[in-house]
């Protein structure tokens, strides 16, 4: 794992860089305006790791590692470690919205595990959920055209394929 951390650039990763790691990485803390990742989870040959960008040292560090088999309890422990580390490193920046937690069960979202806004749950607003990456937006936050552009530009879908996904 040290080899992977050492090979990362001395800056936060872009969304494209995280996605290029295929299914091995997922961002947990981003800068919303640029989608730069500051905390990621990484699935390696030797287990699951929490990796965070230390702004002061300008380097990535591994702050959590486990080789435990997947279970709901192990996942909860892993996410707790991620949220605790991010809060200790970026507390003020998270508080003012400069950085945002985007994990699948963000504790700041009220109402349990659901990340969907009430308007989506009630069927009043559409949701745009990319089948190839973590892009998820709703009619409250983006337009159908933006979602289509994402599919074409980020994943090289044709116009007809993009429309098929949109109409899903």
pLDDT tens per residue across span 52-76: 999 999 999 999 998 877 777 888 8
Taking every pair of Cα atoms in the chain, the longest distance, rounded to a whole number of angstroms, is 48
Beta strands in the chain, from DSSP E residues, in sequence order? 25-31, 36-44, 47-54, 59-66, 100-101, 127-129, 136-138
The three-state secondary structure class of 66 is: strand
- pLDDT band for 82, please (50, 70, 90 cuts): very high
pLDDT band at residue 111 using 50, 70 and 90 as cut-offs: very low
Band (13; pLDDT cuts 50, 70, 90)? very high
Indicate the pLDDT class of residue 109, thresholds 50, 70 and 90.
Answer: very low
pLDDT > 50? residue 107? no
pLDDT attached to residue 43: 80
Averaged pLDDT score across all residues of the chain = 83
pTM of the model: 0.59
């Amino acid at each position: 794992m040290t080899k992977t951390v050492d090979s990362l650039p001395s800056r936060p990763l872009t969304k494209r860089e995280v996605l290029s790691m295929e299914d091995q990485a997922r961002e947990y803390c981003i800068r919303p305006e640029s989608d730069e990742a500051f905390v990621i989870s990484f699935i390696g040959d030797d287990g699951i790791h929490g990796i965070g960008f230390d702004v002061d040292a300008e380097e990535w560090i591994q702050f959590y590692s486990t080789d435990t088999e997947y279970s709901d309890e192990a996942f909860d422990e892993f996410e707790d470690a991620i949220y605790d580390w991010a809060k200790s490193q970026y507390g003020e920046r998270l508080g003012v919205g400069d950085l945002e937690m985007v994990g699948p069960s963000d504790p700041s979202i009220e109402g349990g595990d659901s990340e969907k806004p009430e308007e989506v749950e009630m069927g009043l607003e559409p949701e745009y959920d990319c089948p190839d990456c973590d892009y998820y937006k709703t009619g409250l936050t983006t337009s159908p055209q933006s979602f289509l552009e994402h599919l074409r530009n980020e994943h090289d879908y044709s116009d007809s394929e993009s429309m098929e996904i949109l109409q899903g």
